[in-house]
Structure 1
Amino acid sequence: MRTIGVDLAAGVPGTALAELVWADGGARLTRLETGVDDAAIVASVSGDAVWLGVDCPLGWPDAFVDFVRAHHSGSALELVDGGADWRRPLVYRRTDHVVRERIGRWPLSVSTDRLGVTALRCAGLLRRLAESGFPVDRAAEGRLFEVYPGGSLRLWGFDTTGYRVDAERRAVLLDTLSARAPWLDLGGFAPLAVANADAFDAVVAALATRAGALGAFEPPASEVLDIARREGWVVLPEGPVEALASS
């Protein structure tokens, strides 16, 4: 099995890709690159037994899409009172509510934060993946997953304070991860993961993708499955990171 983790950015310079090969009760990091374009991401999932995890929303909230469509066409809109309760369905997807319940904080909003620019690129990437023959499903029903590296680390019990902006914090995190997961062979890529936050998150994304491939996450409930197929669904690992090496 191979798991590909992508820390997606709006442009190539901020995008990183990690590849983990899982065999014989362990995993080896065989590839870690920054400055990755869409063509390289598509090429990375060629072949069988490969799963892809992307750190980016795979869709927008239904309510937001409906609101923008109605506003654009001049149709009658629900009365806007500007309050937080009115805005929330436009700002957060169903899966974002689950994320908040699990990790205690809201993720960035794909409809109101700059993350939306990255999601525009992701929409194009999904089209390219589908055209290449890779099965694209936004509800975590196949081999494509939306992952959340920071949230995954917190669920695994790691202290994520400041790791995105502090290389020393990433070094500590990587040492702790290596101690808890001695089956993980970083293959000489540890310096890059420490030096570059995008590369670090790509490695974590590849680990979270393994949880998705093993089914070690809570899938969307039946009553929200159709919504998740449009909005996307974040794969939040269940169980300890140590268990990822078991099949």
Structure 2
Amino acid sequence: MLTAGVDLAADTKKTALATIRWSAGRAVVEQVVLGASDELIVEAAASADLTGIDCAFGWPDDFVEFVRRHAAGERVDLTRDRGMDWRRRLAYRETDRDILRRTGRSPLSVATDRLGLTAMHCAALLDAIADRIGPVARSGSGRVAEVYPGAALRVWGLSRPNYKVDAAVRGEAVARLLQVAPWLELGPTEHDMVRSDDAFDAVIAALIARAHAVGGTHPVPPELREQADREGWIALPSAALETLVGPAAARAE
């Protein structure tokens, strides 16, 4: 099995791509590319069994409806709630609220934070991937899934404050990752992960992609499937890191 991970940014120069080759009891990080172009990501997604992309795949339904009504000159609908409750409902997707419940950490709002610029990039990238491999399900039911490395690191007990801004902290996180996952072979990409938070997150995204591919992530609740196909759904690991190479994973391949 081959999995790919993408730490997507609004600009190509801050986008990173990683690929991991999986075989019996081991995983080898084959490449980490900094400044990965959309064309390179599309090629990787076409080759990979599953690709995890660190970016929101869509916008909250309530936010989309609010913008539609506002553009049409209609009044703001405050019949359900108002104030901060109303603004929070528009700002976050159902998957964001699910992540907060499970991990205590809320993803950035795609509607109100700078993540929106990256999500615009992601929407075009998903179209380009779909041109190669067929329709991309935003709910993650196909060969591409939305991932959130920060939340996965919490689940796997690898979270380190400030790892995105401090290379020394990233070095500690990489060392801990190799302790917990001795079957993971980083090779020269270890240096990239310490040097760049983008590279680090891309490798974690590829690990999450493996978890999702072998059924090791929380499923979309049945009542939210249609909404997840519009808004996107974050594939959050549901088991320990070692299960990625365990017997259950081998059976799921």
- Partner residue in 1 for 2:17: 17
Question: Is contact 1:4–1:53 with CA below 8 Å preserved after alignment?
Answer: yes
TM-score by length of 1: 0.96
Runs of 4+ in 1 over 4 A off after TM superposition: none
Which residue identity is paired with 2:197? A
Question: Is contact 1:135–1:143 with CA below 8 Å preserved after alignment?
Answer: no
Which residue identity is paired with 2:201? D
In the TM superposition, 1:48-197 aligns within 5 A as 50-79=49-78, 83-197=83-197
- Partner residue in 2 for 1:39: 39
Q: Secondary structure in 1 aligned to 2:152?
A: helix
- Partner residue in 2 for 1:234: 234
CA shift, 1:220, in A, is 1.1
Distance 1:79 1:203 in 2: 43
Question: Is contact 1:91–1:110 with CA below 8 Å preserved after alignment?
Answer: yes
Question: Is contact 1:103–1:151 with CA below 8 Å preserved after alignment?
Answer: yes
Which residue identity is paired with 1:20? I
Deviation string, structure 1 residues 63-93 (Cα, Å, up to 9, x no partner): 0000001101112331498611111221000
Provide the aligned C-alpha RMSD in A. Answer: 1.3
Distance 1:136 1:38 in 2: 16
Deviation string, structure 1 residues 31-50 (Cα, Å, up to 9, x no partner): 10100111110011224x62
Q: Percent identity?
A: 47
CA shift, 1:134, in A, is 4.2
Q: Secondary structure in 1 aligned to 2:157?
A: coil
Distance 1:155 1:88 in 2: 25
Distance 2:18 2:57 in 1: 19
Question: Is contact 1:216–1:237 with CA below 8 Å preserved after alignment?
Answer: yes
Which residue identity is paired with 1:73? A
Distance 2:233 2:172 in 1: 30
Deviation string, structure 1 residues 105-129 (Cα, Å, up to 9, x no partner): 2110000000000000000001101
Distance 2:10 2:183 in 1: 33
Question: Is contact 1:150–1:160 with CA below 8 Å preserved after alignment?
Answer: no
CA shift, 1:201, in A, is 0.4
TM-score by length of 2: 0.94
Q: Secondary structure in 2 aligned to 1:64?
A: helix
Distance 1:190 1:218 in 2: 29
Which residue identity is paired with 1:125? L
Question: Is contact 2:58–2:230 with CA below 8 Å preserved after alignment?
Answer: yes
Structure 1: runs of 5 or more not aligned: none
